[in-house]
């Protein structure tokens, strides 16, 4: 008995050490600071992906189990330094830090989420919260002329969509690594970041999130969607297709990539059916808005190692063209989601602190200097 346990322990130790060795020696871009921390973040994402993938294959949707959700939320809270603070919301400490540094009140919307609540639930929730605030700003101690909408990742998608919906009613939008479109999953940043930090940002991860948001939970179609088979030829050739053209909206001086748009794709109506309207629905894909003339001024943050990089840069240039005051901050040594690691907790990065500092200074200058 003792011997068997000893052999098991030895085997396990060997396996774990081997894995640790692999993780610590992975190739990652040389300009990232704290490379080991990045490797561990990436590993956590890879393990989570693998667990979800294999459970899905055997017909178990772990992501919708309440216990898995609570564990994930506790774990995420730990990463963000929320341990022992007694707050259920894993973002609480992060937001509190942000609010005190920016000297602003933050109202974090607890909107309905996928997979149980696909589009448009989250969009409707965010819009209705804003309508309530606008109806009676005093009740929420909000200065109605200084409202800023902000979001990170999928939240950036909502922030952009809500800013369009409430054009003329809010002062500014802050989009951090936002997801903006499903017209083209072969933008240069999608292609550049296929296998850089796949546990943090990859085409598969991104497309899976979009499909869930669209209530397309049959991931058998994922490989076809990745190839843009969901985009009908006439849609791609319409004015909407122009919004993702790198020649027009991704100037070379940014030096983010050597690639450019790939002209066209085949389409397959079977895949495209559920997605077809959403490709051009700006509440789902804010980048496809036909008119953005009166949307709020924007502060847009992008990261080099993010599949979503180029859509945010291209959207920025459309805003420039339409004379929306817009500040683009591109961080060449950052990855998707990096902004979260700017404040508290075991995972902190110099570039994240720098980005937070830049944003706080910007808000100081552009919000607090306005006479209310
Ligand atoms: C999402 O799809 C499921 C079937 O797969 C359906 O029962 C449900 O009503 C859909 N939800 C929405 C909001 O469309």
Q: What is the DSSP string of 276-314?
A: HHHHT-TTTSGGG-S--TTPPEEEEEEEEE-TTHHHHHH
Report the chain's mean pLDDT, rounded to a whole number. Answer: 91
Q: Which of 341, 335, 276 is nearest to 302 (CA)?
A: 335
Q: Is the CB of 274 under 6 A from ligand 1?
A: no
Place of tokens 């609570």: 70
102 vs 273, more confident: 102
Count CB atoms within 10 A of the CB of residue 35: 14
Q: How far is the CA of 116 from the centre of ligand 1 (A)?
A: 9
Q: Is the CB of 118 under 6 A from ligand 1?
A: yes
Index of the ligand 1 atom closest to the CA of residue 119: 13
| pLDDT (0 to 100) of residue 1 | 66
Highest-confidence range of 45-54, 274-283, 352-361, by mean pLDDT? 352-361
In this model, does residue 217 exceed pLDDT 90?
no
**Residue 53 has which token pair?**
């993938």
Q: What is the mean pLDDT of residues 271-284?
A: 86
Share of residues in the chain with pLDDT > 70 (%):
96
Highest-confidence range of 36-50, 92-106, 301-315, by mean pLDDT? 301-315
| pLDDT (0 to 100) of residue 210 | 96
Q: Is the CB of 215 under 6 A from ligand 1?
A: yes
**Residue 211 has which token pair?**
């499909």
Alpha carbon distance 208, 307 (integer Å): 13
Q: What is the mean pLDDT of residues 180-201?
A: 97
Which residue owns the Cα nearest ligand 1 atom 10? 215
pTM reported for the whole predicted model: 0.94
End-to-end CA distance of the chain: 75
Alpha carbon distance 319, 289 (integer Å): 11
Q: Exposed/middle/buried for 229, CB within 10 Å: 0-12, 13-18, 19+?
A: buried
CB proximity list for 19: less than 8 A, separation 6 or greater: none
Q: What is the mean pLDDT of residues 339-349?
A: 86
pLDDT in tens, 79-113: 777 666 666 677 888 899 999 999 999 999 999 99
Q: How far is the CA of 166 from the centre of ligand 1 (A)?
A: 28
In this model, does residue 370 exceed pLDDT 90?
no
Index of the ligand 1 atom closest to the CA of residue 121: 13
Q: How far is the CA of 62 from the centre of ligand 1 (A)?
A: 18
Which residue owns the Cα nearest ligand 1 atom 3? 215
Which residue owns the Cα nearest ligand 1 atom 4? 215
CB proximity list for 301: less than 8 A, separation 6 or greater: 174, 175, 176, 177, 312, 329, 330, 331, 339, 355, 359
Instruction: Choose one of 115, 118, 215 to mutate for the ligand 1 pocket test, by most ligand atoms within 8 angstroms of C-beta.
Output: 215
**Residue 318 has which token pair?**
């459309």
Q: How far is the CA of 282 from the centre of ligand 1 (A)?
A: 21
Edge-first strand listing for the sheet containing 297-305: 148-152, 172-176, 297-305, 326-335
Domains of the chain: 40-368 (3.40.50.1820)
């Amino acid at each position: 008995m003792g011997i068997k346990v000893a052999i098991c322990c030895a085997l396990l130790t060997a396996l774990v050490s081997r894995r640790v060795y692999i993780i610590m020696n992975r190739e990652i871009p040389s300009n990232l600071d704290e490379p080991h921390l990045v490797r561990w973040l990436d590993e956590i994402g890879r393990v989570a992906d693998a667990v979800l993938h294999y459970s899905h294959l055997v017909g178990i949707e772990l992501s919708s189990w309440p216990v898995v959700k609570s564990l994930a939320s506790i774990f995420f809270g730990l990463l963000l330094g929320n341990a022992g603070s007694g707050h259920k919301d894993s973002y609480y400490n992060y937001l509190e830090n942000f609010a005190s540094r920016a000297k602003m009140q933050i109202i974090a919307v607890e909107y309905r989420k996928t997979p149980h609540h696909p589009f448009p639930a989250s969009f409707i929730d965010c819009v209705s919260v804003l309508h309530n605030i606008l109806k009676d700003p005093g009740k929420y101690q909000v200065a109605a002329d200084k409202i800023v909408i902000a979001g990170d990742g999928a939240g950036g998608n909502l922030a952009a969509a809500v800013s369009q919906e409430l054009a003329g009613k809010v002062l500014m939008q802050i989009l951090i690594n936002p997801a903006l479109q499903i017209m083209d999953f072969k933008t240069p940043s999608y292609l550049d970041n296929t296998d850089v930090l796949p546990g943090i940002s990859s085409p598969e991860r991104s497309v899976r999130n979009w499909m869930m948001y669209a209530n397309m939970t049959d991931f058998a179609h994922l490989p076809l969607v990745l190839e843009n088979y969901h985009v009908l030829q006439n849609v791609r050739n319409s004015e909407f297709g122009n919004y993702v053209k790198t020649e027009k909206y991704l100037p070379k001086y940014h030096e983010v990539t050597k690639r450019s748009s790939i002209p066209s794709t085949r389409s397959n109506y079977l895949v495209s059916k559920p997605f077809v309207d959403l490709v051009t629905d700006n509440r789902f894909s804010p980048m496809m808005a036909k008119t953005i003339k009166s949307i709020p001024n924007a502060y847009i943050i992008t990261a080099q190692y993010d599949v979503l990089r180029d859509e945010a840069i291209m959207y920025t240039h459309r805003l420039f063209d339409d004379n929306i005051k817009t500040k683009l901050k591109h961080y060449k040594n950052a990855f998707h989601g990096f902004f979260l690691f700017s404040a508290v907790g075991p995972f902190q990065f110099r570039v994240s602190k720098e980005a937070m500092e830049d944003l706080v200074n910007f808000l100081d200058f552009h919000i607090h200097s306005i006479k209310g």
